[in-house]
Every structure is written in structure tokens, then in C-alpha cells.
Amino acid sequence: MHKPAGILVNGNSFKTIANALTQNITRSTLSDVAKPQPVHRLDFPTTGILLVGKTSSSIRALNTLFKNRAIKKTYYAVTIGTMEHEGFITTTVDGKTSKSKYKVHQTIDSKRFGKLNLVQLEPFTGRRHQLRKHLFSIGNPILGDKDYGFENLILKGKGLYLHAYSLQFIHPFTNESLYLKDQLPKRFKKLFADI
């Protein structure tokens, strides 16, 4: 499903994706039907694809795939500043080893920010705020990031330019190769041509 910005995936709040699923997606007809639930998280301000399980066996199987890093996640972000064309970031996050890969697809000049980059990201570990912290650590924070950005370069009112674009994995029951994606938001397309 598509997760919009500004909604928690789960937690103590009433307004969460997890709480809204029962009323908004079709119930499974399989015998081990369960209350639908997200099997991973996206940050509150992040948009994009979110995987949901609707049976006890699928929730367990998908959780195992995430735990074993058998699901390839691809994100896109708009970053600020001049960047190398591609590379790896291995800065620790919260004292734990972490690794992300990035590749710059387009760069445009910006009066306010100098350069803006459309960057494809692939996290190899799943630390909290990993991509946001990693990009900040190399001096290229994500546009609109109030937590990990440079104070004079905070974009107000437009949200965080971080989008969970795709998930790629082998279906745990059918062995089918799946590639699920959620198109880039319009605000990304307004900045960069041909995406």
C-alpha cells in the first residue's frame, strides 16, 4: 500500500496506518486470516510503499524475510549540496554498524540550496532514521529534514523529500519474484525532469 507523509505506521496514537487497515483493505479469505498489519516501518514524514500481511503465516514469513535482509528496499531522496556520483556510507547509527548505498541520478542548480540531487538509496541495514542520518553525515542532508539538516537550509511546509520507492523479494509461498513499487511523488517530479 502507499503510505502518505505525516501518519505513523503504528504506535500509541489513534491515527496510525495499523489502526486504519481493517476498514480499508479487503479481508483475506484464507483460514489463518489475521488482523492486517504492516510488517516493517517507515518514518512519520516518509512517503512510499508499505508491505502489509493479512494472514498469520504471511505476517510471520514477511517478518522473517525482513529480519534476514531478504527484501531489497530502494528509496529516492532529494539531497542538498554537491555529491560524489555514487558510493557507500558506513557511518555507525546509534552505535551500531550500518551501511547504505547511494547513486545520484540528476542534479540541478538551486539559488537557495546551491545544488539539489535526485538520489537513489539502498539501505543494507535497518537502523532507525538510517538514510537520513547517513546523508547528513556526509554533508548532504535530505531536503525538508528538520531533524537531520542544516538550520539555515530547512525547507518549511513541504515535508521530507524521502520516498520508499520499491521492494523486491521472493514470495515466501509461491516463490514468485516480486518487484513492488510506488511512483515518485509529484513534488519530486516538479524539481526533476524525465522521472
What does the angle CA 167 – CA 15 – CA 133 come to, to the nearest 5 degrees? 50
Strands 162-170, 114-123: pairing kind:
unpaired
CB distance 132 to 147 below 8 Å: yes
Q: How far is CA 14 from the centre of its chain?
A: 22
φ/ψ region of 70 (left if φ > 0, alpha if ψ in -120 to 50, else beta) reads: alpha
Q: Is 184 helix (H, G, I), strand (E, B) or coil?
A: coil
1 vs 51: CA distance, rounded Å: 6
Question: What are the backbone angles phi and psi of residue 186, rounded to the nearest 5°?
Answer: -55, -35
Q: Which residues are catalytic?
A: 43
